[in-house]
């Protein structure tokens, strides 16, 4: 079973990497882009087959390591 965690900055948190990407896109000729937000995707493969147990483990991982609760949101996808 695989878990995919999407971590993004909360709205209102400055995103200097996203701003750098927005600027770079503009210099490459891409017009009309007012903002870019950058995040990360973390994929974790489990031997466990119980989706509820996997989700509970990933929640704990996010709370303890994978996401900063002060500045980031996360969404979990299990497949």
CATH of the domain at 40: 3.30.1280.10
Per residue of the chain (79 residues), give pLDDT as tens.
999 999 999 999 999 999 999 999 999 999 999 999 999 999 999 998 999 999 999 999 999 999 999 999 999 999 9
The two tokens of residue 36 are 């870019």
User: Which range marks the domain in which residue 72 is found?
Assistant: 2-78
Q: Phi and psi for 61 in degrees, rounded to 5?
A: -60, -45
Q: What is the pTM of this model?
A: 0.87
How confident is the model at residue 13, as a pLDDT? 97
In total, how many domains does the chain have? 1
How confident is the model at residue 8, as a pLDDT? 98
CA dist., res. 37 & res. 45, Å (int): 27
Q: How many residues does the chain have?
A: 79
How confident is the model at residue 42, as a pLDDT? 98
């Amino acid at each position: 079973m695989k878990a995919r965690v999407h971590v993004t900055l909360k709205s209102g948190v400055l995103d200097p990497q996203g701003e750098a990407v927005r600027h770079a896109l503009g210099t490459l000729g891409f017009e009309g882009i007012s903002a870019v937000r950058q995040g990360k995707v973390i994929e974790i493969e489990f031997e466990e087959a119980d989706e509820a147990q996997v989700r509970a483990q990933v929640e704990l991982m996010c709370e303890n390591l994978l996401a900063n609760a002060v500045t980031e949101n996360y969404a979990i996808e299990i497949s």
